[in-house]
Amino acid sequence: MHLDTFMSLALKGTPFYGYNLPLLRRTLDTIKQEIAGYPFMVHYAVKANGNPRILNEIQQSGLGVDLVSGNEILAALKAGFDPGKMAYAGVGKTDREIEIGIDNDIFCFNVESEPEMEVINEIAARKGKTVGVAIRVNPDIDAHTHRYITTGTSADKFGIDLPMLDEAVDLAMKLPNLHLRGLHFHIGSQVTTIEPFKMLCDKINQLLEHFEKRGISFEMIDAGGGLGVNYEQPEKNPIAPFHDFFEVFKKGLKLRQGQMVHFELGRSIVAQCGALIAKVVFVKQNAAKKFVILDAGMTDLIRPALYNSHHKIVNLTSQEKEIDTYDVVGPICESSDVFGTDQQLPMTRRGDIIAILSAGAYGESMASTYNMRSLPQSHFID
Ligand SMILES: *Cc1c(COP(=O)(O)O)cnc(C)c1O
């Protein structure tokens, strides 16, 4: 079992991210099987995990990438991704970042405002290039996820609102150094029911029809990402429900001749292949609670502190039959530095090795050096 391997790696030092590459490969194979025979293309959202070894693995599987900064474009190029499979999103692209995208001839800028289109057009004109763009639409769909990771309602900063979309499409078609490829959507992250994706399909169909009536057709639609994973029972659900996800789009979208659908999946590709491995520094009894204090903290994995998110926690070393209740916390000087409250664990002692599961997405990529801590290491099972 891979957790045993992480346990022996822990002797060399903790904390670290342990990645199960065979599981990542099985996940990528599942995606390839599900989209085979359909005009679908999947981009990996690099912000979920930009570890070079993970990027290499995903590059070899033939996926494209979804990028949100100039440095991510450079990292993807370094990992060998084809610029013709790069989509670049973000509400605040700087001139320098736009230049990186244009100079490397990326497939598509997912543009989020009219001023952004004008600036991209201007920079492209200066360089004598024409740039592919898709307009990010705010479809006003509530993905029913945490408010920090919902992106597609009219109160969010992302995309162009529906009432302003006609004008934005007209502008994109008028600007001479832009080539409008299509419309882009991304409704949020950790979406665990298929309803919001069904609503997205209906909205896309409506918009395709609306623009067709205006004599405008698109070569592609980008449906974004957001497919959730099972944080409660990761061992039983190591691979996200890709079949159900793609089925919604296969059945729900009324595609026109030659139209491609792009997807941007981050979390669902890498979450389950990674675990944060830490050592117990102290077990501490307070008046009301018992605490397991780890050598990993919110600087290594910020999701519980930032989104109040749940990760399954297991003790890899304890042989005890007796179960006790603990709050599992980190060493950082912040009250939110908590990985889990009231966790049922076998009796835990100083020196035990703990695994925090489903940490492959938005874990290592969000690590910081707050409290002057070192960034976490990474180890791979191949
Ligand atoms: C973060 C992001 C994604 C990936 O979201 P996941 O929930 O990790 O699948 C896709 N598209 C855009 C534009 C993003 O910002």
Average pLDDT, integer, range 73-80: 98
Average pLDDT, integer, range 282-293: 96
Q: Which residue carries 């969010």 as its tokens?
A: 156
Name the more confident of 144 and 349: 349
Quick: pLDDT tens for 147-173.
655 666 666 778 899 999 999 999 999
Q: What pLDDT is recorded for position 157?
A: 77
pLDDT of 89 higher than 90:
yes
47 lines ligand 1 (CB under 6 A): yes
What is the C-alpha separation between 199 and 118, in angstroms, rounded?
Answer: 31
Among 189, 190, 265, name the best residue to mutate to test ligand 1's pocket (greatest count of ligand atoms within 8 A of Cβ): 189
Q: What pLDDT is recorded for position 11?
A: 87
Residue 324 CA, ligand 1 centroid: distance in Å? 38
DSSP string covering 3-64, please? HHHHHHHGGG-S-EEEEEHHHHHHHHHHHHHHHTTSSEEEEEEGGG---HHHHHHHHHTT-E
89 lines ligand 1 (CB under 6 A): yes
H-assigned helices in the chain: 2-9, 21-35, 52-60, 70-78, 95-103, 114-126, 165-174, 195-213, 242-252, 267-270, 303-307
Residue 361 CA, ligand 1 centroid: distance in Å? 11
Q: What pLDDT is recorded for position 8?
A: 87
Backbone region of residue 159 per phi and psi (left: phi > 0; alpha: psi in -120 to 50; beta: other values): left
48 lines ligand 1 (CB under 6 A): yes
The three-class DSSP label of residue 208 is helix
pLDDT of 303 higher than 80:
yes
Residue 240 CA, ligand 1 centroid: distance in Å? 15
Residue 118 CA, ligand 1 centroid: distance in Å? 25
Which ligand 1 atom is nearest residue 136's CA? 13
pLDDT of 1 higher than 60:
no
Q: What pLDDT is recorded for position 4?
A: 85
Residue 68 CA, ligand 1 centroid: distance in Å? 9
Work out the mean pLDDT of the chain and round it to a whole number: 95
14 lines ligand 1 (CB under 6 A): no
Q: What pLDDT is recorded for position 155?
A: 67
pLDDT of 365 higher than 70:
yes
Task: Output the residue whose Cα is nearest ligand 1's atom 1.
Answer: 45
Q: What pLDDT is recorded for position 3?
A: 84
Q: Which range, of 56-60, 155-159, 194-198, 269-273, averages the lowest pLDDT? A: 155-159
Among 86, 150, 186, name the best residue to mutate to test ligand 1's pocket (greatest count of ligand atoms within 8 A of Cβ): 186
Q: What is the DSSP letter of 221?
A: E
189 lines ligand 1 (CB under 6 A): yes
Q: What pLDDT is recorded for position 158?
A: 83
Confidence of residue 145 (pLDDT cuts 50, 70, 90): low
pLDDT of 142 higher than 80:
no
pLDDT of 71 higher than 70:
yes
Quick: pLDDT tens for 11-65.
889 999 999 999 999 999 999 999 999 999 999 999 999 999 999 999 999 999 9
The three-class DSSP label of residue 106 is coil
